[in-house]
Amino acid sequence: MRGNLICCKNLDFNKDRLCHTLGEVINRIEISTRPKVLEIYVLIKLSGIEIDKSYEVEVQFRNEDRTVVGYTDKFILYNRRGNKQVPGVDSSIKMKVVITNTGNFTMDLMIDGEDIDSYPIYIFDQGDS
């Protein structure tokens, strides 16, 4: 199994076409005040999964010390692809996190309690970089 995260400023899911449209992909976020509530959209991609198995998914937001400072409720994903495709699923969430300090953070993808992928985001005060 492989899992990937992509974080962006906005994300839409088209139910008719069954596809996601990503807005600006983010690697860094400038904040003007602290504490600050950030909304981060996350695309989750799983591939090479078992066809008849469900997976417990959680996304965690960690600071530089690897302390969890935000997380989603756990939810279930399973194969949504056709018979001729590589088994997998794409899903998206909007996550709100409270930022009290700056630095390098990570968005971590947890599948069945195992850390599968990590996405770095640098958060800095306005005027710094």
Q: What is the pLDDT of residues 82-128, one digit of tens each?
A: 889 999 999 999 999 999 999 999 999 999 999 999 999 999 999 88
Give the mean pLDDT of 51-59: 96
pTM: 0.92
pLDDT at 129 over 80: no
Phi, psi of 98 (to 5 degrees): -95, 125
More confident residue, 60 or 127: 60
102 within 8 A of 124, measured Cβ to Cβ:
yes
pLDDT at 3 over 90: yes
Helices (H) and strands (E) in the chain, counts: 0, 11
The domains of the chain, with CATH numbers, are 2-125 (2.60.40.2550)
pLDDT at 127: 84
